[in-house]
Homo-oligomer: A and B are copies of this chain.
Amino acid sequence: MRSLGFWFEFASTYSYPAAMRIEAACVAAGVALEWKPFLLGPVFAAQGMTDSPFNLYPIKGRYMWRDMERLCAAQGLGWQKPGQFPRGSLLAARVASAHAQAPWVAAFVRAVYVANFAQDRDIGRTRTVTDILQEIGVDPAPVLDRAQSPEGKQSLRNLTDSAQAHGLFGAPSFTVGDELFWGGDRLDAAIAAATGCI
């Protein structure tokens, strides 16, 4: 059984529906799932972009907001257009990267996405991340301490470097060995690759 790397950015709209279904999809297929939070900012900057492509190209942004409504409706997910886009994702990403092996990481990832895209909460605030940890039954203090330690910060830098080494240019992305798949629509193809079905 091969593993599937799930590369996500908490500020990324299209990462939200992918994050909500990926664990169940991998379990159903018998594929090991690796949570790979990273930051899109440095990835976009390496391509000469200083903002989300959805802001840089408004015509594409308009499409994306409508598309998200349809995607979330089709997947039965809550949706509320966030009052700010993109939102700061640094602390939440550090929590997820420093605790990628924790038994609660999947619940945390989903809760952050729901906060950002279904509840319009500011996930960039420490208070919001603290509240989310409490809501999923995790003691926030030691988790945040480790996330903000030098090792915690380095773990996210390493993942962001690794994303670029894998040729990632957006989120969500999926990797199976050296194969890269971009976009939530490719999750099924990535799972098929992981199971040896393609």
A-to-B contact residues, CB < 8 Å: 46-47, 57, 59-60, 62-63, 66-67, 70, 73-74, 167, 169-170, 179-183, 185-186, 189, 198
Assess the B198–A66 pair: CB atoms within 8 A: no
Quickly give the copy total for this chain: 2
Assess the A167–B62 pair: CB atoms within 8 A: yes
Out of B57, B181, B198, name the residue touching A169 (CB < 8 Å).
Answer: B57
Q: How far is the CA of A74 from the CA of B198 in the complex (A)?
A: 8
Q: How far is the CA of A170 from the CA of B181 in the complex (A)?
A: 19
Assess the A60–B169 pair: CB atoms within 8 A: yes
* Contact partners of A179 in chain B: CB under 8 A: 66
> Which residue on B lies nearest to A71, using beta carbons?
B189
Assess the A47–B59 pair: CB atoms within 8 A: yes
Assess the B47–A169 pair: CB atoms within 8 A: no
* Contact partners of A186 in chain B: CB under 8 A: 185
Please give 13 more A-B residue pairs, beta carbons under 8 A apart, in addition to A47-B59, A57-B169, A185-B185: A46-B59, A47-B57, A47-B60, A59-B169, A60-B169, A60-B170, A63-B169, A63-B180, A67-B181, A67-B182, A74-B189, A74-B198, A183-B185
A151 CB to nearest B CB, Å:
29
> Which residue on B lies nearest to A185, using beta carbons?
B185
* Contact partners of A63 in chain B: CB under 8 A: 167, 169, 180, 182
> Which residue on B lies nearest to A46, using beta carbons?
B59
* Contact partners of A73 in chain B: CB under 8 A: 198
Q: How far is the CA of A143 from the CA of B185 in the complex (A)?
A: 39
Q: How far is the CA of A198 from the CA of B67 in the complex (A)?
A: 13
Q: How far is the CA of A63 from the CA of B7 in the complex (A)?
A: 15
Please name 22 pairs of A and B residues whose Cβ atoms are closer than 8 Å in the assembled complex, sorted by A. Answer: A46-B59, A47-B57, A47-B60, A57-B169, A59-B169, A60-B170, A62-B167, A63-B167, A63-B169, A63-B180, A63-B182, A66-B180, A67-B181, A67-B182, A70-B189, A70-B198, A73-B198, A74-B189, A74-B198, A183-B185, A185-B185, A185-B186
